[in-house]
């Protein structure tokens, strides 16, 4: 692993004081994802509609849960595409991004779909030129 801070290892060391090393090692990645997802949710909350404190807390908690559900998959993909980053190092930034995107997922998915469509059209167009 490259030099630098590993949030999973740091949280695991802190947790091991309270729950033991084996349990801390198992819980640390989940806790890192929840914390980063909720931190991203706070950023996303800034662009959401005006709300009460309870609605804001529910929004932030839901972004933490959403990040917890999908971060592992994205981290695996990032780990496959870039072995230097690795899946553990990608957990916190990916979860933070998921929480930050928050309520804007439909717009992000539309953008990704348009990008994929342009790539396919460019590939078809390029393939048509070579024949």
Indicate whether 118 belongs to any domain.
no
Indicate whether 122 belongs to any domain.
no
Quick check: pTM over 0.85? Answer: no
Note down pLDDT in tens along the chain; length 131 residues. Answer: 455 678 888 899 999 999 999 999 999 999 999 999 999 999 999 988 899 999 999 999 999 999 999 998 888 888 888 877 766 778 899 999 999 998 899 999 999 999 999 999 998 888 766 55
Indicate whether 74 belongs to any domain.
yes
Indicate whether 47 belongs to any domain.
yes
Which residue range forms the structural domain that includes residue 42?
A: 7-103
**φ and ψ at 51, to 5 degrees?**
-150, 170
Indicate whether 119 belongs to any domain.
no
Give Cβ neighbours of residue 7 (< 8 Å, ≥ 6 apart). Answer: 32, 36, 91, 92
- Contacts from 55-62 at CB under 8 Å and sequence distance 24+? 59/102, 59/103, 60/99
Number of domains in the chain: 1
């Amino acid at each position: 692993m490259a030099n630098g801070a590993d949030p999973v290892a740091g949280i695991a060391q802190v947790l091991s004081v309270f729950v033991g090393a084996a349990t801390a090692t198992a819980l640390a990645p989940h806790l890192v994802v929840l914390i980063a997802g909720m931190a991203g949710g706070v950023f996303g909350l800034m662009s959401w509609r005006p709300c009460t404190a309870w609605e804001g807390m529910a929004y932030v908690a839901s972004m933490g849960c959403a990040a917890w559900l999908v971060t592992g998959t994205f981290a695996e993909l990032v780990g496959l595409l870039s072995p230097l980053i690795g899946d553990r190092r990608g957990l916190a930034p990916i979860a933070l991004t998921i929480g930050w995107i928050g309520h804007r997922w439909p717009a992000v998915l539309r953008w990704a779909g348009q990008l994929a469509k342009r790539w396919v059209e460019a590939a078809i167009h390029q393939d048509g030129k070579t024949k």
